[in-house]
Structure 1
Amino acid sequence: MGIINWNSIFYTLFNFYNLINNHLAVLPTGINKLSELRVLDLEDNRLTKLPINIGNLTQLKYLNLSDNELTTLPEDVGNFTQLQELYLSENQLVTLPESICKLTRLQVLDLSFNQLIVLPENIGDLSLLKDIELGNNQLTSLPDSIESLKMIGRLDLSNNCLTTLPKGLSKLPQLRELVLISNPIKSKELRKIQHWLPDCEVVF
């Protein structure tokens, strides 16, 4: 009878990891071996970056990195192709990797309270998104591909630097709430946006 590798079994079966509020500056060694991990909650730590091999967690469905000190994300976040919810609020992100657009099963994306200036051009590839939180950033424009987010129900753009929005927003049939509070959008432009979206509550 062979020796049982309990370490291997642990890594295979472990699918939930909660490390909320642990003052972590780096992730625990071996976390990349949790190949069956479905839920990873790292909210309220001190993470400044993620390890490159974080992309090995290909079965993740829920990832919470809110309230950390992240300035960038590694390209291999694009490996999280099963991910449905991604929370990145209250970090220091200025840009996002293009690979984030590979997360085509994503339904919730929270990027609020960062320092984002632009969004990836292919953000529209996230066609299953229902809720995207972009409030309290430094966005000056939105990519035209946003018109492909046909499932989006709520779009929060409050406290940014937007002066205009793409007309493609009128092609979002499920959009019911558009939050534009504290943007330098002129009244004429706001009226135009309301005309584009007669069935949507535009909050400004």
Structure 2
Amino acid sequence: MAASVLLSAENTGLTFAVGNSGTVGAPGNGVGVPVPVPWNRSLDRALEEASATGCLNLSGRKLKEFPRSAANHDLTDTTRADLSRNRLPELPLEVCMFVSLEHLQLYQNCLRSLPESLLNLQALTYLNISRNQLSTLPSPVCSLPLKVLIACNNKLVSLPEELGQLRQLTELDVSCNEIQTLPPQVGRLDSLRDLNIRRNHLARLPPELAALPLVRLDFSCNKVTSIPVCYRNLRHLQSIVLDNNPLQNPPAQICIKGMIHIFKYLNNEASKTTPELPDYDRRPLAFGSCVEELYPGRPYGALDSGFNSVDSGDKRWSGNEPTDELSDLPLRVAEITKEQRQRREREEHRTTGSHSVTNGTCENQRMSVCNIESRLKVSLPSDLGAALTDGVVLCHLANHVRPRSVPSIHVPSPAVPKLTMAKCRRNVENFLEACRRIGVPQVRPSH
């Protein structure tokens, strides 16, 4: 076959063809050098995929407006839309017509406001409007069923009072703004677990935060001088970040020692103003009991003698040595729970003296539970069956009897508080296998 070199009039570059001669783009039997796909053709392909899958990805295309060619595609069933890293001056009205939208990415644009038509998105649970030019949080945002709201790196100077309407919100990130105060309505966010108000202009923390089920609180890089004493009631708190603040109460030497010492200080301050409190109310119950309410049956601290504990799929080492900050937390929680249980038992004993046999049986059961709690250094809930369903406590019990008998344990995490059935089943199977290796006799139920 003859090989010819053609110089196209429309293309000043060389094109090699084998066989029949032809120009670029003309039909022929030749094999030519691939030509880059036009930009608008790539955009059309993204719109076609969105029409088929329900996921619209227009990220990083330098868009200043919504593509006009979108009118040629059916995007009404779109559930996820990513318009991040563009040059949009406002939210396109076309996006506000996606009534099935659940997940919307708008970060790194030029947004100065959001339209009222945003109210149409009554299925939206995730909204990221970070890295824009918003000076206020629009009120329509507070009327959506959001679970995650990320509005960091804007120019916000305040948060609206309507923020308290977001009753399903679990994560709020308004870091790197110019916020000076938080409205008291923030105390109505009954589901809030993660609050990030880092790098703002806050001079004080609202006491209303003490009523929230916060697991993580970050107010670093602000102007806060004191932590309210009522924050000792943040029973679920696992992480608090407070560096780069001119804190005087608690003093800096207390804060650098960690969360345990901070809560001890707050409880001591509370006992000075309310000396009538009993001892068990003065102790920092704080963040210990969140284990049972958020993650039933999950041990807390360094309870496991094994390794490779799996936190929702991510493996990590978990040796026997506890961290300095949380070393005595499980034991304290167990002691407090034991004191409360003993006090309740004494009251029941005074009122129900006639049921001595039944009380004796219950006492034996309670003593057995206390024995397990003291050995594992955890507090077991009253609904013991539900707590053992995921197999986490069982695996730690096996590792307590024989270290590393269960090498890998699936445990919940703040992001995924409930294990899947497959992971629960795997934990139980690992526990049964460890029991067989330890030598526990297998007893079959009689029919």
Normalising to structure 2: TM-score of the pair? 0.41
**Aligned equivalent of 2:217:** 155
One-letter amino acid of the structure 2 residue matched with residue 90 of structure 1? N
Residue aligning to 1:33 = 97
Shift of 1:74: 1.8
Please state if 1:55 is matched with 2:119.
yes
- Pair 1:182-2:244 in alignment: yes
Rg larger in structure: 2
- State the AA in 2 paired with 1:162: V
Return the offset for 1:53. Answer: 2.3
Matches within 5 A, 1:14-33: 14-33=78-97
Distance (Å, rounded) in 2 between the aligned partners of 1:183 and 1:160: 5
Residue 130 of structure 2 is matched in structure 1 by 66
Report the Cα distance in structure 2 between the residues aligned to 1:61 and 1:108, rounded to whole angstroms.
11
156, 176, 182: which is aligned to 1:119?
182
Structure 1 or 2: larger helix share? 2
Q: CA deviation at 1:56?
A: 2.2
SS in 2 for 1:122: helix
Matching residue's letter, 2:248: K
Secondary structure in 1 matching 2:217: strand
Report the Cα offset of residue 11 of structure 1: 5.5
Retained in 1: the 8 A contact 2:162–2:185? Answer: no
Against the structure 1 CA distance between its residues 99 and 11, is the aligned structure 2 distance closer, same or farther, given a 3 Å change threshold? farther
The two structures, once aligned, show a CA RMSD in angstroms of 2.2
1:110 is aligned to 173
Q: CA distance change for structure 1 residues 188 and 157 in 2, over 3 Å: closer, same or farther? A: closer
Length, aligned pairs only: 193
User: Relative to structure 1, is the Cα distance of residues 176 and 95 closer, same or farther in structure 2, using a 3 angstrom cutoff?
Assistant: same
- 2:209 corresponds to which letter in structure 1? I
How far is the alpha carbon of 1:21 from its aligned partner? 0.1
Structure 2 partner of 1:83: 146
- What whole-Å deviation, never above 9, does each CA across 1:139-168 have from its counterpart, x for those lacking one? 111222111112x11100000011112222
C-alpha contact (below 8 Å) 1:44/1:66 kept by paired residues: yes
Would the aligned equivalents of 2:171 and 2:193 in 1 still touch at CA under 8 Å?
yes
Q: Distance in 2 between matches of 1:57 and 1:11?
A: 14
Query: Distance between the aligned counterparts of 1:58 and 1:120, measured in 2?
Result: 25
Q: Flag structure 2 segments of 5+ consecutive residues without an equivalent.
A: 1-70, 255-260, 268-283, 288-324, 326-447
- Report the AA paired with residue 165 of structure 1: I
Distance, in Å, in 2 between the alignment partners of 1:128 and 1:188 is 28
CA distance in 2, matches of 1:75, 1:38: 19
Higher-RCO chain (CA-CA 8 Å, sequence separation at least 6): 1
